[in-house]
């Protein structure tokens, strides 16, 4: 497995056999940064999802998970920019940062926040108390912090653990038109909870030569989720970081549309340096530059989700 230090981007190759826990704390020997890392859980290891637990729980039609086990494919960027775009369309939006890396939380400029860990380990039984109203109208955030790594340890594999988020969302979902969940690049507590809660899944995918492998993996997982915990889940692929000058990018885009007919959003998100600039400024690209290419494409994606594209 490859572990990348999020601070200095140094890559380490570890043997899967050396790491038994699904997630662990690593220390970069180059820059000394301490960070959470994951051993990828294999789909074959997931043999505990409870077939009967889904019965009697209603669907959360307004919940959308953004998921792909492949890292760096724009899951967080999509959550943030789609979230703001829906909010600008006068929809009440809650974004849930369900990733220990807390990139969504950090992208909005928040530090030292609470997280789902504090919900499960505190006295409050509602998520409401922990939701932050962002400076953008209609846009709220349920933040993340490093404590989240402990949830994986405590709950992953426990009976009905995959319904923990859904059961909490059932109590607050009517306050929002859309609840978007940003997930980590791995399968475990967070992704299985998000996929069990969501009605729709957006699978961001870059047009690189390994993208079909990532999509096959997540579709295989969604098929398992469909059979076990969430029969009505609907996946759709979103092409991100598309480089229209690159022949390879265009070839892979065509291949994805052919391999997954009807599963791909019409909107695609192009490579746009404004996304990274906006991230440095701790703001969504739509606020950083309203006319940015990617910003306008995220607006288009919001319209497609809302069924408003003509
Ligand atoms: N359309 C785009 N054009 C250029 N850069 C982009 C675009 N979308 C995302 N990026 C950049 O790519 C990097 C990865 O994006 P992001 O963090 O959203 O991916 P992710 O899938 O959430 O990653 P992880 O798997 O680590 O959670 C970030 O530096 C982000 O700024
Ligand atoms: Mg992310």
Same domain, 274 and 174: yes
Same domain, 28 and 173: no
pLDDT at 14: 82
Q: How far is the CA of 123 from the centre of ligand 2 (A)?
A: 29
In the chain, how many domains are there? 2
Same domain, 128 and 165: yes
**Greatest CA span in the chain, whole angstroms?**
55
pLDDT at 255: 92
Which residues, by Cβ under 5 Å, contact ligand 2, an ion? 75-76, 103
Same domain, 75 and 160: yes
Same domain, 11 and 138: no
pLDDT at 125: 65
pLDDT at 269: 97
Same domain, 19 and 56: no
pLDDT at 24: 83
What are 229's two structure tokens?
A: 């915990």
Same domain, 1 and 99: no
In which domain, by residue range, is 279 found?
A: 42-306
Asked if residues 104 and 182 have their Cβ atoms less than 8 Å apart, the reply is: yes
Q: What is the DSSP string of 98-114?
A: --TT-HHHHHTT--S--
Q: How far is the CA of 239 from the centre of ligand 1 (A)?
A: 12
The domain that holds 101 is classified in CATH as 3.40.50.300
Counting every residue written for the chain, the total comes to: 310
Same domain, 160 and 275: yes
pLDDT at 236: 97
Atom of ligand 1 nearest to the CA of 272: 3
pLDDT at 96: 98
Partners of 64 in the β-ladder: 180, 200
Same domain, 264 and 184: yes
Q: Residue ranges of the chain with pLDDT lower than 50?
A: none
The SS3 assignment for 76 reads helix
Ligand 1 site, residue 239, Cβ cutoff 6 A: no
pLDDT at 187: 86
Quickly tell me which residue has 């997982």 as its tokens. Answer: 221
Asked if residues 95 and 83 have their Cβ atoms less than 8 Å apart, the reply is: yes
Q: How far is the CA of 275 from the centre of ligand 1 (A)?
A: 8
């Amino acid at each position: 497995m490859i572990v990348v230090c999020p601070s200095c981007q140094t890559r380490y190759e570890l043997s899967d056999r050396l790491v038994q826990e699904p997630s662990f704390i690593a220390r970069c020997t180059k820059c000394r940064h301490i960070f959470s890392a994951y051993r990828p859980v294999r789909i074959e290891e997931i043999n505990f999802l409870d077939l009967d637990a889904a019965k009697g729980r209603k669907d959360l039609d307004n919940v959308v998970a953004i998921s792909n086990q492949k890292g760096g494919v724009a899951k967080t960027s999509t959550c943030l920019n789609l979230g703001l775009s829906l909010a600008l369309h006068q929809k009440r939006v809650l974004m849930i940062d369900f990733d220990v890396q807390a990139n969504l939380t950090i992208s909005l400029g928040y530090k030292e926040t609470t997280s789902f860990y504090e919900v499960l380990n505190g006295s409050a039984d509602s998520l409401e108390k922990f939701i932050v109203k962002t400076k953008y109208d209609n846009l709220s955030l349920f933040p993340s912090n490093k404590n989240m790594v402990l949830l994986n340890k405590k709950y992953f594999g426990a009976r009905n653990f995959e319904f923990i988020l859904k059961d909490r969302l059932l109590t607050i979902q009517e306050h929002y038109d859309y609840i978007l969940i940003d997930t980590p690049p791995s399968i475990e507590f967070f992704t299985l909870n998000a996929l069990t809660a969501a009605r729709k899944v957006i699978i961001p995918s870059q047009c690189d030569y390994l993208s079909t492998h990532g999509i096959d993996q997540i579709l295989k997982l969604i098929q398992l989720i469909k059979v076990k915990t969430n029969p009505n889940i609907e996946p759709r692929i979103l092409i991100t970081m598309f480089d229209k000058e690159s022949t390879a990018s265009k070839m892979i885009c065509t291949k994805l549309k052919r391999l997954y007919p009807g599963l791909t959003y019409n909107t695609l998100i192009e490579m746009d340096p404004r996304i990274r600039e906006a991230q440095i400024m701790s703001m969504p690209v739509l606020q950083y530059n309203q006319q940015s290419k990617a910003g306008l494409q995220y607006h288009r994606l919001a319209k497609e989700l809302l069924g408003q594209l003509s």
